[in-house]
């Protein structure tokens, strides 16, 4: 049985951080994603685009994350792709780009950086108090919209 290798996020320079922040502000999202196992909402950064080269560049300079091909529903639609990075890797990216975010995503980044680790145990086990704190975090995070 093969084990997955956890990739570390690269240390970004100022230009890379500002560029990624611009992409996230314009084309991306900072959200809580339920597509991972366990049903809990996990922190995620997503960027969807029809330019796969752009997403490959993000993946290369960040050093982690994955790119998927999205389903095309109509023949005249261009192929589309999505880059995503989750949990602590997403936090590591946010730490480096938060100074350059300009939209409502700045508020989401700040709350994630301040509270996500505190309400997300690595073992996934929640007592009643931590579960309530987690639910309050999720509600507050998701209430921040454009």
- The C-alpha atoms of residue 131 and residue 56 are separated, in whole angstroms, by 37
> What CA–CA distances, in Å, run from 125 to 42, 116, 134?
14, 15, 12
What would the two tokens of residue 122 be? 């690595």
Residue 91 phi/psi, 5° resolution?
Answer: -60, -40
Nearest alpha carbon to residue 83 among 61, 52, 108: 52
- CATH node for 14-143: 3.10.28.10
In sequence order, the 6+-apart residues with CB closer than 8 A to the CB of 47 are: 23, 24, 27, 28, 29, 54, 55, 58, 82, 83, 84
Task: Tell me how far apart the alpha carbons of residues 32 and 38 are, in angstroms, rounded to a whole number.
Answer: 13
Q: Which residue in 130, 124, 126, 138 sits closest to 36, CA to CA?
A: 124
Domain positions in the chain: 14-143
DSSP secondary-structure letter at 9? P
Please tell me the predicted confidence (pLDDT) of residue 35. Answer: 62
Cα 57 to Cα 40: distance, rounded to the nearest angstrom: 30
Please report, in tens digits, the pLDDT of each residue of the chain (146 residues total).
555 566 899 999 999 999 999 999 999 999 998 765 566 789 999 999 999 999 999 999 999 999 999 988 888 889 999 999 999 999 999 999 999 999 999 999 999 999 999 999 888 788 899 999 999 999 999 999 98
- How far apart, in whole angstroms, are the C-alpha atoms of residue 54 and residue 47? 10
Query: Rounded to two decimals, what is the model's pTM?
Result: 0.89
């Amino acid at each position: 049985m093969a084990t997955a290798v956890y990739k570390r996020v690269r240390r970004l320079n100022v230009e890379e951080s500002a560029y990624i922040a611009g992409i996230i502000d314009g084309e991306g999202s900072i959200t809580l994603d339920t597509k991972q196992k366990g049903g809990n909402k996990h922190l995620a950064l997503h960027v969807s685009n029809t330019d796969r080269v752009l997403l490959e560049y993000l993946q290369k300079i960040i050093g982690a994350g994955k790119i998927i091909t999205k389903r095309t529903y109509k023949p005249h639609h261009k192929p589309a792709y999505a880059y995503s990075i989750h949990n602590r890797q997403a936090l590591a990216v946010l730490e480096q780009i938060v100074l350059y975010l300009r939209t409502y995503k700045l508020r989401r980044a700040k709350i994630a950086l301040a509270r996500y680790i505190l309400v997300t145990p690595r073992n996934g086990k929640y007592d009643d108090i931590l579960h309530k704190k987690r639910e309050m975090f999720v509600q507050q995070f998701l209430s921040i919209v454009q």
